[in-house]
Structure 1
């Protein structure tokens, strides 16, 4: 058989083997926020590394355009945006790269050599020849399709080679007259879970568009669900603690081994090397104090504390050979570490608590994961509900910044305010807007001698600074206009907002953590902490106390069935309120409790 015939037959074989990817040869192009993107549909076996090579773009740029990849990884059937502006156009134009499953197929173009291919894919020439015997036998020819064994890449990050998982979500094409309520009933999921995984559905449901819906687990079918409830109830009634609880705590001390932590006292702070270590130490101190308090009350629990450092590899080395069965896991603090640990313990059904912010989307299909820090969406919902219920009779106005970055926040605020208004028998909330909140615009918008309650869901610092300055100028004028303004948690970090403006405009700020230093419970803990450590506890020490005290108390009361009672176990801690909501039948739990404070006599004053 001639060389040319060999090439024809080989090309035909590859064409058949990758026919499922043909649609990806000319990917769809979309425009998002003024930027153009290719749309790549992820297929089974494809990896971030393979996709990056197909489009001649760095993996980092793909992840930047698709931030959910940092949390969830690739999923089969997922639409991944490829920013056209970051693609190496010259390389992309001349290259003919296809991917099928976990294999890259590279079509040789003019002037390409084995050496250039080895450099392009980070391989040795021998690795390419090993799985391309025809190339080794007859040499590289223009037009030939070469298989690339990318798993052997020398400088490829592990996460870039992770294969996509089966998506725990189903796709639904919106039909006429369908609503979020009807879809939630059809699929037996909550409205909030549908909104969360579709980025808030800021433009609402549009006929013909495709949205993602959490899949229902067959075990939740009604006849099985009833049987499961009965069986679990019987087990729970008969459950008795016969041995100490085993609790694992993962924190990034970056300094010590677990067996030395109990010796840490007030003299350790000069050993700290960075802020992360200090946060971990203070969290641990609060946690340890709560455990000691519970032990004195008869709760039997063993702490297993792991120094995770800052890398996943460090965490792996700590737990991969660990055979102890834990009853509760707290931490780690770093997102990548927490995600890896959740996967590692996936089959053990251990309650896993994240005390720091993680994406609400990460809770989907992970019914043992608990998120203590309310997400931005949850905070918005709670704040809007509070405003709607407590200020619906006032001159309530939703202020829309008209900024694209705020559109999702405005939609959540609008939806929840109007729902509250409707339930209370009021019309929809009044909405005002100004893209540029200049002094002249603000003065002409509001009526003289009138009080307004404004809800301003915006995170644009420059906009908020100008808006608040203009409002304050109006307040200080002789027009008699007064305000009660509700802002966002982020405003507390805007150092260009003066405290006099907070007081003049009666600005209210939501926050997931707040400490009532005059409360007897806080005073008692402060006294004990000062006595042992010689310093006051910071916010992370109080967080460590609250998280451990709350969950270990639940564990002591309900044992392995504690998660079944989480939604009904509302409680106020020293700095955190606990009010958990389950985001779907198969999903985890998110704390949705917030505080709201304002400034009174130049001091914080909690109003909710």
Structure 2
């Protein structure tokens, strides 16, 4: 698949910077002047890294010399907020009141900083911010005017970025944008991470692959720079990192919403209500989907408010599935709701849908089985599966990405995109547009401290909504010579997903189910 000549010419004109490390352009605006309270530090004051949560004391201080015999000094760590602990020193001299002194603080990456945290790196409103974009354009692989398929995601994503920058011109935001071609190369990323350009960034958008993203996320954590994953949904890219934002929800988020969806109850399709009054739930997957099944069941039990609530399941030991393995768990007198939380193997999904479809009697419907299958967003990219399976099995699935193309906003975007690039936009262009517009508006409103305000600013985009929450995980920490579990922020992640159904051979938003999350976002948007 190649792009047309108009798109290539316009893109290469806008990406003349691809091969130059220092290339950038400015989005001019009015800037801002308000200052926020200091909340972050500069890594220049880092003294040591704490392994496994152990926190060494800071005791090498002049003030501890020549202590009088009746003076007692001790230290402790206090949880100031979800982002940091404060290292404090207490001093009791005779009958005098206890004196408290702040020695330093510890972030959730386990890094110790000496001094008062209010004198460290500040979240600030700037006259100009720097947004760095790192994508695998693979310009070194171009042949004449042909852009290879491997570059297409990055190219289309950046086209969306450009249209978002046009929109931000109407705001007061002053933005310096740096764009780098990662070439999908580890050595190129290593070189970029050592450059002055990245050190001066306020936000880094990219890269894409998990390995390169991990290096960049760890750089962001050590440097206090927010790194945003544009579309990688791997939840294990980095750990204990309050400077990492994952815009594309990971599969665990989908499982949580699936469980809540099932707990709330699925309305029987209108064409079946007159003859089917019962529903029969069954999970079908592979043995390697066992973690997904556990997460889905946990969300189902939470939604039901019943820890004993169960859904029967069958997990295949291989890529195949025989209907004989599950038919005894099906019912002709009920709507069989089959949940298949599999996304790694198209072969297995194909086999499962083929076997279920074999039980559908499209001529005499009362003699066959009726199904509603709940699947995964990855299925929309599958090429082997007959769409008749999706239609006749009433496929539903969650997806972070869906465009209502007949909306006024989408029509305006499609028109602008076609005028500039000569073709209709695809999903990566929408992703680039939504992400850039969101980050730009957050910088304009909150400055470099915008991560502190994620919960205050849900965002309604063309293709998705951003409802960002902290992902909290329990970690073992050593405290007072005792190992205890403490909640730590692992990362920030978008928690929004659409629910879609395959009907009349096209995807449609599901009107039956509107999650509480969606309602909250819509209410917030109306207030704004």
TM-score normalised by length of structure 2: 0.64
Say whether residues 1:412 and 2:280 are aligned partners.
no
Which one of 230, 248, 255 corresponds to residue 373 of structure 1?
Answer: 248
Alpha-carbon contact 1:421-1:429 (below 8 Å) kept: no
The 8 Å contact of residues 295 and 301 in structure 1, kept in 2 or not, is answered as no
1:274-311 per-residue CA deviation (whole Å, 9 max, x = no partner) reads 23333222211211210121112332211111222222
d(CA) in 2 for partners of 1:359, 1:444: 36
**Matched-pair contact (CA < 8 Å) for 2:213–2:237:** no
Cα distance in structure 2, aligned partners of 1:596 and 1:494: 18
Q: In the alignment, which residue of structure 1 is the partner of 2:6?
A: none
Residue in structure 2 matched with residue 246 of structure 1 by the alignment: 130
Residue 278 of structure 1: which of 152, 163, 167 is its match? 152
CA distance in 2, matches of 1:527, 1:277: 24
Asked if 1:312 corresponds to 2:206, the answer is: no
Q: Deviations over 1:115-162 (max 9, x none)?
A: xxxxxxxxxxxxxxxxxxxxxxxxxxxxxxxxxxxxxxxxxxxxxxxx
User: Displacement of 1:521 after TM fit?
Assistant: 1.1
CA distance in 2, matches of 1:570, 1:544: 17
Write the mapping of 1:67-82 to structure 2, written as runs, cut at 5 A.
Answer: none
Larger radius of gyration: 1
For residues 27-67 of structure 1, what are the alpha-carbon distances to aligned partners after superposition, in whole Å with 9 as ceiling and x for unaligned? Answer: xxxxxxxxxxxxxxxxxxxxxxxxxxxxxxxxxxxxxxxxx
- Please tell me whether the aligned partners of residues 282 and 329 of structure 2 are also in contact (alpha carbons under 8 angstroms): no
| 1:382-422 alpha-carbon deviations (Å, 9 max, x no partner) | 22222222339962513244x32121111111211122122
Alignment of 1:584-599 (within 5 A): 584=472, 585-599=488-502
Please say if 1:300 is aligned against 2:185.
Answer: no
Residue 255 of structure 1: aligned partner: 139
Q: Does 1:288 align with 2:162?
A: yes
> Does the aligned pair in 1 maintain the 2:137–2:183 contact within 8 Å?
yes
Report if the CA contact (8 A) 1:168-1:365 is conserved: no
Instruction: Answer 1 or 2: which has greater helix percent.
Output: 1
Partner residue of 1:468 out of 340, 353, 359: 353
Structure 1 residues 350-370: Cα deviation after superposition (integer angstroms, max 9, x where no partner):
111011315323342111111
Deviation, structure 1 residue 479: 2.6
Farther off after superposition, 429-438 or 474-483? 429-438
Q: Where does 1:21-36 land on structure 2 (aligned, <5 Å)?
A: none
RMSD of the TM alignment (CA)?
3.8
**SS of aligned partner of 2:358:** helix
How far 1:336 sits from its partner (Å)? 3.0
Distance 1:441 1:479 in 2: 20
Work out the CA distance in 1 between the residues paired with 2:313 and 2:188: 52
Correspondence for 1:30: none
Q: Write 1 or 2 for the structure with the bigger share of strand.
A: 2
Correspondence 1:108-507 to 2 at 5 A: 167-168=51-52, 218-219=85-86, 241-255=125-139, 271-322=145-196, 325-357=200-232, 359-391=234-266, 395-401=279-285, 403-422=286-305, 428-433=309-314, 435=316, 437-459=321-343, 460-476=345-361, 478-479=366-367, 481-507=369-395
What corresponds to 2:449 in structure 1?
561
Assess, with a 3 A threshold, how the Cα gap between structure 1 residues 361 and 441 changes in structure 2: closer, same or farther.
closer
| Bigger mean CA offset, 438-447 vs 518-527 | 438-447
Higher relative contact order (CA 8 A, sep 6+): 2
Quote the Cα distance in structure 2 between the aligned partners of 1:307 and 1:384: 40
Which aligned runs of 4 or more in structure 1 are off by greater than 6 angstroms? Answer: 223-226
Cα deviation code 1:313-340 (max 9, x no counterpart): 2234345241662221111223333333
Shift of 1:167: 4.7
**Structure 2 stretches of 5 or more lacking a match?**
1-48, 55-78, 89-99, 108-115, 269-277, 473-487, 514-528
Q: Map Cα deviations across residues 457-488 of structure 1 (whole Å, 9 max, x no partner).
A: 23454443333223223221643532221112
C-alpha distance in 2 between matches for 1:239 and 1:376: 32
For residues 351 and 543 of structure 1, the distance between their equivalents in structure 2, rounded to whole angstroms, comes to 18
